[in-house]
Structure 1
Amino acid sequence: MSTPTSSIDHTTDYLRFLGDCPSPFHAAHNVAQRLEDLGFRRQVETDPWEATPGGHVLVREGAVVAWVIPHEVGEGAGFRVVGAHTDSPTFTLKPMPSTRTADGWGQLEVEVYGGMLWNSWLDRELALAGRLVTTDGQVHLVRTGALARIPQLAIHLDRGVNGDGLKLDPQKHLHPVFTVGTDADVLQILARDAGLAGPEQIASFDVVTIPAQGAAVFGAEQEFVASGRQDNLSSVHAGVRALELAGADWQDGAPAGGDVWVFACFDHEEVGSDTRTGAAGPLLQDVLTRTAAALGRDLDGTARMVAASSCVSADAAHSVHPNYVERHDPAHHPVMGGGPVLKVNANQRYATDAVGVALWKRVCAAAGVPVQAFVSNNAMPCGSTIGPITATRLGMTTVDVGVPLLSMHSAREMSHVRDLVQLSAALGAYWQGA
């Protein structure tokens, strides 16, 4: 088995990846491009399905799925699935993208997407990123420079803010400004930055805001990463790196034998996954069933492959917070830098069970990676992931894991470089049969 690349190499690539993936559409494109550079073949969903030995990848809007067929797929083979998601909490641009106040302020019209920490978006320069669909039906990825800002009210006009807390109305107060006293048009800016002739070419768009400040490392030993979108690009990047590292050892572009490897990065996890590109949609099941059919399996053979399968749902986890220790379960304190986290919940908000725990411990032992566990404080219900959705749709053993973060769902989250490297090593060990 290949050893992980150095944390410096991994972190440098991670910072670049975060910058290259400002929206789910950019993330899906970037993942597919990196895998195609590795030799993966692009699958078009309307074409006959490919199951030749080697890597294959498809993109559906903001989702991307890759799979690797070994040279020998035995009768007892299944699928080894790693699931992640490309989206993060943000603001999305409304169909009427801008308005003007009586005083001449130009403001972006935005809608809250996902469970954002609203206050973290104040007083930050914001850019726009996403896709434009032109009148001829073509899709163009776009990203602007620093364009807008949500300025906070001065303390002189809100004297009680520090003692009483900040109170924000998402309709009134989370309204970015991008110009004053000019006739600047946001669609004109998007068209320009996408290389279009003018805004009249834009038929529709899916555009989000991102902090214009780039990802960076900090800390006494430069051990921390600060950036938005780490929930869940931390897992997406870990999977890509694991595939790239494993691919360097393949003979003739594929593993010798074993299970089929699958890497599924969905969109819309932050809003429930109930879309054609979300984990609750048909995308993963379509890939598995069409791959099994292309391998010559009939209906029963496909069901046997799925029954022999497992899934690692990789999504960001919570590190214990040093300033709010009482918010955590007193017996479970996962700490940043201590390795990837097993996420456990008796109410099945996470899909982890004893079989999944044993699988993950075996994987981490093979990779030389430590294991720590997260369980919510009983007085504080936890969130959920694509794990329970995948287990429900497909019936396969699923375990929820992820790197521990602080400031989750902030405009600028915090991770530890060691955890990022170790998650990638563990995913690689899982795919390679541990």
Structure 2
Amino acid sequence: MSGASEMRDGWRILAGCFVGVSASFASLFFYTSGIFLKPVAETFGWTRGEISLSSIAVLVGNVLAFPVAGRLVDRFGERRVAFLSTLGLGLSFCLLAVLTTGLWIYLILLTLLCCLSSGGNLIPYNRLLTQHFCRLRGLAFGIALGGTSFGAAILPVYLAPYVAEHGWRAGYLLLGGLTVPLALLTFWLIGRPAADTVMSPRDAGLHWSEVVRHRAFRSIGTIVFLAAAAVLGTTLHVIAMLTDQGMTAAEAGALASGLGVAVLAGRVGAGYLLDRWDAGVVTAVLLALVATGMGALATGRPEMILPAILLVGLGVGTEGDILAYLLGRRFPVRNFGTVYGTILSVHAFGAGLGGFVAGALFDLFGSYQVWLSCAAAMLLVAASIAWLTERSVRPLAASAA
């Protein structure tokens, strides 16, 4: 089948994945969490380090939930798991708005949010794309996962001033209400799953322990951990970084929307390149560019803020696509949910740890410069590993674990 035929026959799947990703944890929660960071902390008198414990709560919830969610997607199909998980995300936003009265309750609710929403994150959508696209798989990843630009580019412009005027509780309720129409639209677009890609109760498939022992797990897992810690740990604090420099919430939200533009461009651009060039080379070059952005942001110079944010957004827009692409050529689609969910827990661990360390270093040094320098170094190490281990890699069979 030609690339044009793939796109023509799979447009509903592609559109459904785009909308589903727009309504996922990766879009509605992750890219908006920075907007709530300072208002929630100021309400209860928490330090920047204490509110950054939210990253640990997210870490714990995702690390525990992603492997289970991947298994459920393989067992019951993408459509049902994604729909129920998206509604779970909306319910969790409402609980955050209504029940948050202290730090520990806030952290428990964030952990619950991660558990309820894990099956509607990137796992079911990347599995669908791996199943339906071959010749233009990288581009399909880029277009569909560009749905995160809804949370990265559009929401900050409107949500940041909304929270500043109406409060963070109202902001969480607004996010909760957005999930329902998006979940229904996704459910309709995706349609029924193919019967041969859903495991029967007797088909155990790959176990998590087999995935961890796979020869590709160490190199890809290390790259993913370092990139997630550096890029996503920084993204959590972007709004706080900008307002610390004297910007208003509206100005910071508008500038941070540039991050979303870069996310979309990075996803589509990386997907296009993955279909044409060696994936190891593409990964190494992109990670090196993001490291340059971290270094520029660490200078603190006003004229460097926008180009630095655009480069950081480029990293946010590529790591998930590259991960799915590398895994998709090594494992059969029937096991993709289990495989992707397992390694995505490594991604979540890096992101949560990065966000916490960034906040702790801010409390220790009074600025984010030290963290940004560390993030740049981690990205350069990840780029080096990708260059050394992921170039000219032959697809590995699942049995090679």
Give the TM-score, by structure 2 length: 0.26
More helix by percentage? 2
* Higher relative contact order, chain-length normalized (CA < 8 Å, sep 6+): 2
Give the TM-score, by structure 1 length: 0.25
Larger radius of gyration: 1
More strand by percentage? 1
